[in-house]
Amino acid sequence: MRKLLSFLCMLVMLTAFCSVAGAAERQPLKVAQFPLIVQSSWLEPGLEVTDDLERQIDRALHVPLNGTLHRVEYLPEKDCLAAWDEAVDESSSRKVKDRAKVIADKLGADLVVIPIVNDYVQYTTMSWHWDRDIILHSYVSLELVVYDRATDKVVDKKASRFYDDDYSTTGTASYLAREAMTDLIQQVNLRGYIWDRPDADSKADESGDKQASAGDGQTTVKK
């Protein structure tokens, strides 16, 4: 039994060592994770709601033991915001998705993630019924823009929720916003951008295979 435990301990240590060694050789994925961008002209979500929505993004992009494995390098928020300002000044388009690649180039980022609140509405009225219940009116519209340098593609997804009924905590704008953000994260498969990426070695092998196969079809012309 002791020999088995010793063997298992050695196996765990060897696995951890190999993981750290492999991480040291691999370049970390540079991620530009933006804070919540609020573009709502009606209301702005409160600090608690903003923090909750940003934490949802945090969890989707979280890498356990990243301090040891160095799989991801999260770029400083101030650098991301500075790149945002520059992209706004330089771009003629008002669409965030058109600025994402420009921002990535300025930061040298492999992945850019920008969560946006486009609309955030909540107000109450009194019912016309005899009991004069309070009617809650809520509407939220969120957007998630992701640029991936590996594919050189921008994914832009939107999700909205509305509520128009007797007052309920599940009808508040804050509740609807959390639901919409959960939906967006699943729509774009945000975790997949971290965990489903091919390793650098497999990319190199794939590139080599493509070159070899292209070379097989070439004919040498003698002069």
Dump pLDDT digits (tens) for 163-202: 999 999 999 999 999 999 999 999 999 999 999 876 543 4
Strands 134-148, 153-166: pairing kind: antiparallel
The domain tally of the chain equals: 1
Inside any domain, residue 103: yes
Q: Domain of 169: which CATH number?
A: 3.40.50
| Domain membership of residue 97 as a residue range | 27-196
What was the pLDDT predicted at 199? 55
Q: Kindly tell me if the per-residue pLDDT of 222 is higher than 60.
A: no
CA angle 6, 8, 12 (to 5 degrees): 120
Inside any domain, residue 109: yes
Inside any domain, residue 60: yes
Q: What is the mean pLDDT of the chain?
A: 83
Inside any domain, residue 173: yes
Please give the residue that has the higher pLDDT: either 41 or 105.
105
CA distance 103 to 154: 12
Q: Model confidence at 127, in pLDDT bands (50, 70, 90)? A: confident
* Helix, coil or strand: residue 170: helix
Inside any domain, residue 133: yes
Q: Kindly tell me if the per-residue pLDDT of 21 is higher than 70.
A: no
Inside any domain, residue 19: no
- The listed range with the strongest mean pLDDT (110-114, 128-132, 203-207) is 110-114
Inside any domain, residue 131: yes
Q: Kindly tell me if the per-residue pLDDT of 216 is higher than 70.
A: no
Dump pLDDT digits (tens) for 141-154: 999 999 999 999 99
Backbone angles phi, psi at 65, to 5 degrees: 60, 30
Q: Is the pTM of this model over 0.85?
A: no
Inside any domain, residue 217: no
